[in-house]
Amino acid sequence: MPNQFAQIFPVTGDFVPTKASVHLSPSLSSPGTYFSIPSADNNPVIDATNFYSIVQSDHKWIYDNSTAGFTGPGYMEVKGEGFVSDLVYFPNDFFLDQYFMDIYFLGMGGTLGAFGRIRYPVQSSYSGTFNIWIRAYADGAFTGYLYLDGVKHQTLSFTGTGDWVWYQTSVALDTSLHIIGISFETDDTKIDKIIIGSTNSSTPTGTGPAYTDSPFLTTHARIWSLDGLGDPDSALYIYDYKTSVVDMIVPDWYNFNLSFLNSSEAIAYDDDNYGLVLSTSGINDDNKMTWDSTDYSTPLYTVYRDVTGSWSQSTARTYLFGIYSDRSDWVDVASGYMETEQGSSSQSILNTFEDDEATLLNVRIV
């Protein structure tokens, strides 16, 4: 199944992309805001890319999939230095309290330091000590921190092997909603999967158990340069995300920031084509994210990337993360049928580009 889709767009003249507005339609059967631990025999298995927020700092957490061996659509990786990016807003008092706590720590030069923190909301139906298994990749020894509700809880000290390895830590939880945060303080360290439970004391084998159903979706956006065949070749140091917890609530246009995370990594755009690449985590038979597209007849096809890492051209008109469809008013999504949006076949996917903006029928890049 394809797990990434790319919309190709040209850059000409003085145009510098700074924002992409994309029409996305979330569909969740039972939308929620946290991972549940309903019983001792029910351990949530979480895709690390299916987080609800990141507190970015000098060294960023970004989505990537260039290192083989990951289990979902990709993994999260610590990269580089840059500015402290804006934090997201949260819809209820608990998440809002966490937001202001992070603002306080950053403003006071407190516990966060120079490395970003990736965060996962969890709630257990019972109190106890919970093992946390983290599937991570590092070339050598690395350290980090486990946070609980915005407060540094314990130091993590692991030995990397240049491969994907399971690492273990633990935390005491009551039945309240909690935010588990993870910070790795070595660049290029990656995190792929997380298991939380009170009975999972044995080290997981291989890639571990399959993901449990997620209560929300996380959509990732990056900009890629293209190779000589016109396929996405390498990702630029640009990353933004949205979640169905706080952002993607209803079908609408959503803005992704296309600014470079670090000015020293910025490039001068050539008069060339680039790819806006989207991927979504948390997909299952009942949870979907549709990138509403349209008919087109230009040679600048939208392309998709499958699980082998290969890019292929597609004449699909409407894209669902996890599946794709050729020209059709309906798409079979295993659990039933979902009506899809279609554009007019008389329209070209590419409109006129000017120096200050580029407009596609399904993407607006400014």
At 169 the pLDDT is 94
CA distance 280 to 295: 22
Q: What is the mean pLDDT of the chain?
A: 74
At 30 the pLDDT is 85
- Whether residue 366 has pLDDT greater than 80: no
| Mean pLDDT value of segment 201-205 | 88
Residue that wins the pLDDT comparison between 103 and 138: 138
- Whether residue 303 has pLDDT greater than 60: no
At 363 the pLDDT is 57
At 315 the pLDDT is 42
Architecture of the domain made up of 35-197: Sandwich (2.60)
CA distance 257 to 183: 23
- Whether residue 217 has pLDDT greater than 80: yes
At 41 the pLDDT is 85
- The answer to whether 291 touches 362, Cβ cutoff 8 Å, is yes
- Whether residue 243 has pLDDT greater than 90: yes
How many residues does the structure list for the chain?
366
| Mean pLDDT value of segment 341-348 | 26
| Mean pLDDT value of segment 7-36 | 85
At 330 the pLDDT is 25
Residue that wins the pLDDT comparison between 362 and 24: 24
At 310 the pLDDT is 58
Secondary structure (DSSP) of 15-65: ----EEEEEEEEEESS--SSEEE-BTTB--EEETT--SEEE--SBEEEEE-
Residue that wins the pLDDT comparison between 331 and 275: 275
Across the strands, what pairs with 78? 61
| Burial readout 266-290 (b: 16 or more C-beta within 10 A, e: otherwise) | eeebeeeebbbbbbbbbbbeebbbb
Q: pLDDT of 1-11, one tens digit each?
A: 445 777 777 78
| Mean pLDDT value of segment 32-50 | 93
Confidence of residue 302 (pLDDT cuts 50, 70, 90): very low
At 202 the pLDDT is 86
| Mean pLDDT value of segment 323-335 | 28
**Residue % of the chain over a pLDDT of 70:** 69
φ, ψ for residue 118 (rounded to 5)?
A: -100, 140
- Whether residue 16 has pLDDT greater than 60: yes
- Whether residue 188 has pLDDT greater than 80: yes
| Mean pLDDT value of segment 106-122 | 67
Residue that wins the pLDDT comparison between 348 and 131: 131
- Whether residue 170 has pLDDT greater than 80: yes
- Whether residue 229 has pLDDT greater than 80: no
- Whether residue 177 has pLDDT greater than 60: yes
Span(s) in the chain for CATH 2.60.120.260: 35-197
The residue behind tokens 């600014």 is: 259
Residue that wins the pLDDT comparison between 115 and 92: 115
Residue that wins the pLDDT comparison between 214 and 98: 214
Secondary structure (DSSP) of 205-220: PTT-SPPPPPSS-EEE
User: The tokens of 130 are what?
Assistant: 């919970």
Strands 128-138 and 60-64: unpaired
- Whether residue 254 has pLDDT greater than 80: yes
**Residue % of the chain over a pLDDT of 90:** 40
CA distance 307 to 12: 32
- Whether residue 78 has pLDDT greater than 80: yes
**Chain centre to alpha carbon of residue 342:** 26
**Chain centre to alpha carbon of residue 300:** 25
At 103 the pLDDT is 38
Cα–Cα distances (Å) from 290 to 7, 166, 252, 262, in that order, read 14, 33, 11, 30
